[in-house]
Amino acid sequence: MNNFSADSGMLFLLITTIICCNFGCSQGCLDDEKTALQQIGQSLGYGYEYFYPGSSDDCCRWDGIYCSPTTSHVIRIFYDYIKEDEDPGFPVFLDMSLFSQLKELQELHLRGNNIGELTNPEEICKLVHLQWLDLSANSIEDAVPPCWGNMPSLRTLNLSKNRFQGNLTSFLANLSKIESIDVSYNLFEGLLSFSIFANHSKLSHLDLSYNYQLEVETENPTWHPRFQVQHLLLAGCNLNRQSGQIIPRFLSIQYNLQTLDLSSNLLVGSFPTWLLHNVSSVLSLRSNSFVGQFPQGHQKKSTLSKLDISNNHFDGHLPINIDLFLPQLKGFNASSNQFSGNIPPSVVKLKYVESLDLSSNLLSGVVPVGLTYNSPLWYLNLSNNSLDGELLPENCSMPNLTWLLLHHNIFVGNIPACLSKSLSLKLIDVRHNHLSGTILSLPVFMQLGALLLGENQFRGPPPQQLCQMQMLQFLDFSNNNFSGNIPSCLNNNSVWRKKFQANSWVPVDFTTKGNSYLYQGIPLTLMTGIDFSANILAGFIPDEIGELAELRSLNLSQNHLTGHIPKSFKNLTNLESLDLSHNNLTGQIPPEIVQIDFLTTFFVAFNNLSGRIPSNEHFSTIFSESSFEGNQELCGEPLQRKCSGNDNEDDGRKENPKENAEEGLVDKPLFFYSFVFVSYAVGFWSVIAPLCIGANWRRKYFATIDGWIEYLLTR
C-alpha cells in the first residue's frame, strides 16, 4: 500500500512537471520586466496597450513575448516588423539598457523596425544567456561595441542590412562558439583575414556579402579550418585581392557546403569543376572574370539545384550532356557570356528546371520544342541573342510561366495562341523582333504588369482586351503599324487610375523622356507608362485618358491623331513626360496643362496647334522652343513668334471677368442686328417725321434740295 502511494505521488509529480513545462505554472511575468517591456514598446513607437491582447495584464501573454514556464522570466522577444503596416517615420533611437533588465533573455529579434541608432549598446553584453541577436533590416549607423564579441552564449548574430561601420576583426575573432554570422549589406571596412575563424569549430553559416569597403583574404596567413561550413556567402567583398583574386583554396576541403556565393569579386581562372560536387544545393559565380568553356563530357552527377555563372567570359557551346551531370537543376543562369551555337537538347531534358536565363549570348537557331512543352518553367529569358523562327513552339504549355523575356532576337510570326495556357504571366517582353500580324485574339492576362511589343511589325487596332488587364503598369506598342483608334476604355486600369503599388519583379526596360531606363527595385514599383508612338493611329485622343491620375509617362507621338488636346489632361497630376508631337492635332494647348507640376518633358511639336502657348512660372522656364516648333499658328514664349492682338490672349494667367463679359456681349450676333435696326430707325425718323409734321420745315427742305440740284447742273 505504501509502495502504491509512493508510486502515485511520483506519477502526480511527473504529470505536474510535464504540464508546467508545456503549459506553464508560473504566476505571470515579473513586475520589473513588465515595466522594461513597456518602455521598450514606447521606444519603438508603440504604447503599452499594443503588445497585449484584450484585458491581459500578464506580459508573458503579450504578442511576441515568451517566458520561462518555471521562473516567469522573459526568455524570448520577437518584435520583427512591428511597423510593417505603418508609416516608418523618423528612425528610432533604442536604449539597449532596457534589455539588460531581462536577466534570463535568450533570444532578441528586432528585425525591420526602422531603428537608426542604439544608445548604450554595450549594455546587452550583460545578458550572459543571450544566444540569438537579430537587428537586421534596420538603419543602424553605429560601430559594433567590442564586448559583443565576448558574449559567452551567443550562437546566432544577424546585423545584415544596416549601416554598421568599422572593422569586423575586433569582435568576430573571439566568438569561438558562434554558429551563424550575417553582417551582409553594411559599411564594414578594412582587411579581414579568414584565419580569425580557424577555431570557430561550430561555424555553419557565414555571410559577409556586399560590404564594398571590406577586403576579405582567405590565403594569407596560412591557416587550417576546424569548421565545416554549410552556407558561405562572400559576394561583393573584394575577395582575395592580395592573392591574385583566386577561388579560396580551403573550399576544397569543405564537404558540407549547401550554399556558396562568390559573386561580384572579379575572380579569375577557368570554370572550377570541383565546386559542382563540393556544393550540394546553390552555387553562384555571377559577375566575375572566369574564362573558357563550361565543362563538357563531365559524367559525375551533382546534386546542385541552382547554378548561376552569369556575367563572366565563358564561351563555346553549352554542354551537350548537362542533363546527365546536373539532373536536379531547377535554376540555371548563364546570361551575359559568349556562349554560341544552338540551345542543345540536353537543356530540354532538364525536367525540373523552373528558371532558365540564357540571355545576352551569341545563341542562334530556334527554341527547342521540348523546352516549353508541359514545362514547369516560371521564368524564361532568351533575350539578346540571334534566335529565329517562331516566338515559341506551337504546342507550348507552361502553366506556371510568370516572366517571359524574348526581346532583341529575330523571331517571326505572331504571339503564339498557346500562351493562353499561361494565365499567371506578369511580364511579356518581345520587343525588337520581326513579329507581325494582328493581336486581336490576345488572351486576357489578368495579372499582367508589363506588355512590351515595341519595335516589331504588328498591325491592326490595339485590342480591346487591354481594357480588361487591370494590373498593367507598362504598355509599349511603339514602332509598329497599329492603326485605328486608341481604346477609350483604358481608364478601367487599376494601376494607372489609383495609387496602387504594383509588385516588384524583374527589371523592366522602358523608354521615357527620350531615353531608355532600366527600372528595378522601388523605382519599378512606382513607375507607370504608356507608349503608342510611331504607329498609324488616327482619331481623337480619348478624354478618358485624363482619368489615369497615376500615369507618369505618356507617348502618343508620330501618329495621325486629330482633334484637340483633351482638357482632362489637367488631371494627370503625376505625369512627368508627355509627347504628342508629329500628329495632326488642332486648336489651342489647354491652359490647364500648366497645372501638372511634375511635368518635365513636354512635346507638341509638328502639329497644327494655334494660339498663345500657356505659361506660368514653372511651365515657361522648363521647356524650350523644340517642344513647340512646327506649329505655324502657335505664338508666345519660348517661340520667337510674337502674339498679335488677334491671337488668343489666354496664356494660363488670371483673367478679368468683367472684360470677358463685355467682350462676350459685343461678339453676340443678336447685339449686332439690334444695333443696325436701332440706327436705321433713328436716322430715318429724324428726317421723315419733321417733313410730315411741319409745313415750314417742308418748304425749307425742298428749297435746299432744289438749290443743290441747280448748283450741280450749272457746273
Predicted local confidence at residue 195, as pLDDT:
95
Q: What is the pLDDT of residues 80-120, one digit of tens each?
A: 988 654 555 678 899 999 999 999 999 999 999 999 999 99
Mean pLDDT across the stretch 231-257? 96
pTM of the model: 0.84
Q: From CA 695, how far away is CA 698, in angstroms rounded?
A: 5
Query: Is-contact 321 297, C-beta < 8 A?
Result: yes
Please give the torsion angle defined by the CA atoms of residues 309, 313, 318 and 322, in that order, rounded to the nearest 10 degrees. -30
Window from 29-33, 66-70, 304-308, 661-665 with minimum mean pLDDT: 661-665
Q: From CA 309, how far away is CA 290, in angstroms rounded?
A: 9
Q: Sorting pLDDT into bands at 50, 70 and 90, what band is 488?
A: very high
Mean pLDDT (the chain) is 86
Mean pLDDT across the stretch 124-132? 96
Residue 403, strand partner residues: 379, 427
Common-topology check for domains 19-142 and 481-655: yes
Predicted local confidence at residue 176, as pLDDT:
87
Predicted local confidence at residue 648, as pLDDT:
55
Mean pLDDT across the stretch 519-523? 82
CATH architecture of structural domain 19-142: Alpha-Beta Horseshoe (3.80)
Q: From CA 377, how far away is CA 331, in angstroms rounded?
A: 9
Q: Sorting pLDDT into bands at 50, 70 and 90, what band is 702?
A: low
Predicted local confidence at residue 669, as pLDDT:
55
Predicted local confidence at residue 12, as pLDDT:
42
Q: 31-36: long-range contacts at Cβ-Cβ below 8 A with a sequence spacing of 24 or more?
A: 32/101, 33/59, 33/73, 33/74, 33/101, 33/102, 34/59, 36/98, 36/99, 36/101, 36/102
Window from 60-69, 142-151, 161-170, 664-673 with minimum mean pLDDT: 664-673
The answer, yes or no, to whether residue 652 has pLDDT greater than 50, is: no
The answer, yes or no, to whether residue 335 has pLDDT greater than 50, is: yes
**Domain chopping of the chain, boundaries:** 19-142, 481-655, 675-709
DSSP E strands in 275-370: the ranges are 282-284, 289-293, 306-308, 313-317, 331-333, 338-341, 355-357, 362-365
Residue 195, strand partner residues: none
Q: What is the pLDDT of residues 16-70, one digit of tens each?
A: 444 444 444 556 788 899 999 988 888 887 654 555 545 468 889 888 999 999 9
Predicted local confidence at residue 514, as pLDDT:
87
Predicted local confidence at residue 500, as pLDDT:
67
- Chain CA centroid to CA 272, Å: 35
CB atoms within 10 A of CB 532: 22
Predicted local confidence at residue 27, as pLDDT:
60
Cell of 496: 494607372
Q: From CA 419, how far away is CA 691, in angstroms rounded?
A: 97
The answer, yes or no, to whether residue 344 has pLDDT greater than 80, is: yes
Query: Is-contact 459 480, C-beta < 8 A?
Result: yes
The answer, yes or no, to whether residue 481 has pLDDT greater than 90, is: yes
The answer, yes or no, to whether residue 200 has pLDDT greater than 80, is: yes
Pairing between strand 515-519 and 508-512?
antiparallel
8-state DSSP, 403? E
Q: Sorting pLDDT into bands at 50, 70 and 90, what band is 148?
A: very high
Predicted local confidence at residue 661, as pLDDT:
41
Mean pLDDT across the stretch 574-591? 96
The answer, yes or no, to whether residue 208 has pLDDT greater than 50, is: yes
Query: Is-contact 141 116, C-beta < 8 A?
Result: yes
Question: What percentage of the chain reaches a pLDDT higher than 90?
Answer: 69
Predicted local confidence at residue 59, as pLDDT:
87
The answer, yes or no, to whether residue 688 has pLDDT greater than 80, is: no
Q: From CA 439, how far away is CA 111, in angstroms rounded?
A: 48
Query: Is-contact 108 80, C-beta < 8 A?
Result: no
The answer, yes or no, to whether residue 226 has pLDDT greater than 60, is: yes
Highest mean pLDDT among 48-52, 227-231, 597-601, 638-642: 227-231
Question: What percentage of the chain reaches a pLDDT higher than 70?
Answer: 82
The answer, yes or no, to whether residue 352 has pLDDT greater than 60, is: yes
Predicted local confidence at residue 672, as pLDDT:
52
Q: From CA 473, how far away is CA 469, in angstroms rounded?
A: 10
Predicted local confidence at residue 680, as pLDDT:
54
The answer, yes or no, to whether residue 387 has pLDDT greater than 90, is: yes
The DSSP result for 187-249, as a single string, is EEEEEEEGGGGTT-TT--EEE-TT-TEEEEESSSS--------SEEE-TTS-TTGGGTSPPPG
Identity of residue 607:
N
Contacts of 418 (CB under 8 A, 6+ apart): 392, 393, 394, 395, 396, 397
Q: What is the pLDDT of residues 529-581, one digit of tens each?
A: 999 999 999 999 999 999 999 999 999 999 999 999 999 999 999 999 999 99
Q: From CA 344, how far away is CA 355, in angstroms rounded?
A: 17
- Chain CA centroid to CA 224, Å: 44
Residue with the bigger pLDDT between 425 and 711: it is 425
The DSSP result for 72-106, as a single string, is --EEEEE-TTTTTTS---SPEEEEGGGGGG-TT--
Mean pLDDT across the stretch 463-485? 95
Total residues found in the chain within this entry? 715
Residue with the bigger pLDDT between 666 and 463: it is 463
Q: Sorting pLDDT into bands at 50, 70 and 90, what band is 11?
A: very low
DSSP 3-state assignment of 474?
strand
Q: Sorting pLDDT into bands at 50, 70 and 90, what band is 670?
A: low
The answer, yes or no, to whether residue 699 has pLDDT greater than 90, is: no
Sign of CA dihedral 320, 323, 325, 329: positive
The answer, yes or no, to whether residue 198 has pLDDT greater than 90, is: yes
Predicted local confidence at residue 667, as pLDDT:
45
CATH architecture of structural domain 481-655: Alpha-Beta Horseshoe (3.80)
Cell of 470: 487591370
Predicted local confidence at residue 76, as pLDDT:
96
Predicted local confidence at residue 43, as pLDDT:
82
